[in-house]
Amino acid sequence: MIVTDWMILFLLTWLASLASIRLFMLIADRIGLVDYPDERKQHHYPTPVIGGIGSFFVFALAAFLLMGWPDGQAGLLVAIALMLVTGLLDDLRNLTASTRFIMQTLTALMMTVLIGQVSISSLGDLFGWGEVTLGFWSVPFTVFCIVGVINALNMIDGLDGLAGSLALNTIIWLIVLVLPTHQHDDVLLLLVLSAAAILGFLYYNLRLPWRSRAIVFMGDSGSMMLGVLLAWFLISLSQGHDAAFPPILAPWLFAVPLMDTVSLMIWRARHGQNPLRADRWHIHHLLLESGFSPGQVSLVLVAMGALLAGAGVLGWRLGVPDYVLFYGFWGVFLVYAGVVNLVWRRLRDRQEAEDGLT
């Protein structure tokens, strides 16, 4: 394809996403896909949670019409459809954490060993003494990573425009990495389609100058579906002899949701809490409690994600060894965790002081 073809395809998919989501908005109330405010949520008005359905419909239809879903991508379609259905049931009936985890694991197994045949066999020169191959541990490690990406994106989906923008950031950087290779045309097509579909959703989900709130939410169906999509892209493009980038770049491309989830799960475990339970201690909640507006929080976190992804890509392009990028990411994570822990303590102390006064 030439550049104008890609631009036309992107524009048509974006317009189709806008129309699809608008159509589902009209029937959201009839099918029960409306999120009502409560004490844990930021919004104050009933809001349709159909962003995932509308985006998936356009993405799947466009991919099928353009590609016919060859064998290499059939597993992806089945996996995201299964996760979409699981998310819809969660949006409708509030599934238990264990039920969600089981369905996510089944989806990951489907991608890895049943249909998709997508797995992590190598971690690259992770420690500086040669390539780390997983052998027997390839399947369990891949399942662990897929479930982790799904939950990381799902957990950070708590603020208008945040999860969709972070997912779009990862996809844009993947396009930057894939475009020069000319070896992954099918995957590049899927990346462009997914970027356009997400951007259509963000039109309704972002706070814009002429609109003070989101009028559509992604829902668990959308965040878990996008998690599957991102996991598939990150794994398939970082493995094999024709990999577009080394495996160590994956955490840099998905840095903010990953660091938020890992640091929060460690904090919960240290305090004897269920690592998967919902609460208001995510990074976006902390920034809101610190006085930032919702728009400022989204801008800060998306900018952080873009900068970290850019730093990882630049380091790799400059020839920085895999193990330096690995230890560098751990260094960034430790700084992040330290700063977040400090904010946690200050907010907790403030809350205890306020409770003492009352």
Domain span including residue 57:
3-254
Does 277 fall in a domain?
A: no
Distance CA 128, CA 124 (A): 9
Burial 215-236 (b: 16+ CB within 10 A, else e): ebbbbbbbbbbbbbbbbbbbbb
Distance CA 248, CA 232 (A): 15
Does 267 fall in a domain?
A: no
**φ/ψ of residue 48, rounded to 5:** -60, 140
Does 38 fall in a domain?
A: yes
Say how many domains are in the chain. 1
Those residues whose C-beta lies under 8 Å from the C-beta of residue 33, and which sit 6 or more positions away, are 24, 48, 49, 50, 53, 88, 91, 92, 219
Those residues whose C-beta lies under 8 Å from the C-beta of residue 263, and which sit 6 or more positions away, are 333, 336, 337, 340, 341
Does 309 fall in a domain?
A: no
- Give me the helices (H) in the chain, please: 3-27, 51-67, 71-93, 97-109, 138-155, 162-178, 185-205, 219-236, 249-253, 255-270, 283-289, 294-317, 322-357
Q: 35, 49 in Cβ contact below 8 A?
A: yes
Does 28 fall in a domain?
A: yes
Q: What type of residue sits at position 348? A: R
pLDDT in tens, 141-185: 999 999 999 999 988 988 888 999 999 999 999 999 998 876 777
Other CB atoms within 10 Å distance of the CB of residue 211: 11
Q: 333, 259 in Cβ contact below 8 A?
A: yes
State the 10-residue block means of pLDDT for the chain, 358 residues long.
78 94 90 74 75 88 76 75 90 86 91 80 91 92 94 89 94 92 81 94 88 86 92 92 92 95 80 63 81 87 96 96 96 91 79 65
Q: What is the pTM of this model?
A: 0.91
Radius of gyration of the chain (CA): 20
Does 299 fall in a domain?
A: no
Does 229 fall in a domain?
A: yes
Does 321 fall in a domain?
A: no
Report the candidate in 20, 29, 53, 50 with the shortest Cα–Cα distance to residue 200.
20
What is the structure's pLDDT at 194?
A: 94
Q: What type of residue sits at position 110? A: M
